[in-house]
Structure 1
Amino acid sequence: MPGERLDAEWVRSWWEQADAMLTRLMQSFLPTHGFPPGDNTGLLATEDTHAATSALVDLTPIPSDLTTLYWVISEASLPDVDSGYFIHSPAMAAGHFRDYGPAPIDGEFIALVFASDGGGHLFAIGDSGQVWKSTTPSWFDDFEVAAPSLQEFLDQLARRIASQP
């Protein structure tokens, strides 16, 4: 879906569907895994999120799709999906950018880390719109393409939630 911009209504619909799948997953988690699930949640954006997103935009140019995501969803913590997935808040993304700078990805003018997994791998979105995943749990090693767009990244995440035993 490169070239198409992420739509806020699509993000809202995606989160509603993902949240419903998470609810089903959490209901079957204890009997399936033998221990209770962690806190698997997503927070919808608030005025504070919008202010943090604006501050992030002032700090560095960020892809419009990430702005759209943050205008709808503040953050998500999904520790029980695979090894865990975490969409960082805009304030956290800004803090990481100040501390570490952009992800070092050849061919991208700027790549902003916005998520991670439970193994410490990082996800960055570049100005191309592609989502990249670090090959190791490091800010400074190689990154490989994880999805051609943020929408596809979110679709992949939904499929992981749906396929979770």
Structure 2
Amino acid sequence: MAGQRLEAEWVRAWCEQADEALTELMRSFQERHGFPPGKNAVVLATEANHNATDALVELTPIPSDLTTMFWVIDEVSLPDVDSGYFIHSSSMVASHFREYGAVPIDGEEPALVFASDGGGHLFALAGSGQVWRSTTASWFDQFDLAAASLQELFEGLARRISSQRSSGQD
């Protein structure tokens, strides 16, 4: 996938597959865990999200894969997959950018934070298309390579959902 750009059709297909897998995973969640699941959802983008994405692009140059993702997805909330994964909305990314700026990553142009996990670690996308994860729950500490691309990150999320669904465990 290195060097290739994220395609909107691929993201749409991922959304459909993730939604189906989450629906199945949530059916037995309460029975297995003794408490109801949180709101696990893949929220598709609307015209308002497209406008927010356009505003983000005007605010700062963003990697093209992030623009593609935001054109399809508003946000992803997976509090019950592993320790939780959250793809932020473009308006939240813009708000965070205004407050914290881009994150510096050695050997990369500054990267834009677009997601987090349930432990507060941040995910940032660099212009190279690589995804980086903070080593701590901080905007200002080191970031390590998490995935070669946004597509690889989404494929990993799909595997986590499927693994959890098939094992019946968190």
- Whole-angstrom distance in 2 between the partners of 1:2 and 1:151: 10
Distance 2:75 2:66 in 1: 12
Unpaired runs of 5+ in structure 1?
A: none
Q: Distance in 1 between matches of 2:31 and 2:162?
A: 17
SS at match of 2:107: coil
Give the CA RMSD over aligned residues.
0.7
Give the partner amino acid of 2:144: E
Partner residue of 1:32? 32
**Unaligned runs of at least 5 residues, structure 2:** none
CA distance in 1, matches of 2:43, 2:21: 16
In structure 2, the partner of 1:54 is 54
Q: 1:38-97 CA distances to partner (integer Å, 9 max, x unpaired)?
A: 111121100110001011111111111110000000101110001110000000000101
Corresponding residue for residue 86 of structure 1? 86
3-state SS, counterpart of residue 28 of structure 2: helix
Where in structure 2 are the equivalents of 1:1-165 lying within 5 Å?
A: 1-164=1-164, 165=169
Separation (CA, whole Å) in 2 of partners of 1:34 and 1:66:
37
CA distance in 2, matches of 1:98, 1:91: 11
TM-score normalised according to structure 1 size: 0.98
CA contact (8 A) 2:77 2:85 kept: yes
Runs of 4+ in 1 over 6 A off after TM superposition: none
TM-score normalised per structure 2:
0.95
Distance in 1 of aligned mates of 2:120 and 2:104: 16
How many residues align? The count is 165
CA distance in 1, matches of 2:4, 2:71: 17
Q: CA deviation at 1:12?
A: 0.3
Query: How far is the alpha carbon of 1:159 from its aligned partner?
Result: 0.6
CA offset at residue 110 of structure 1? 2.2
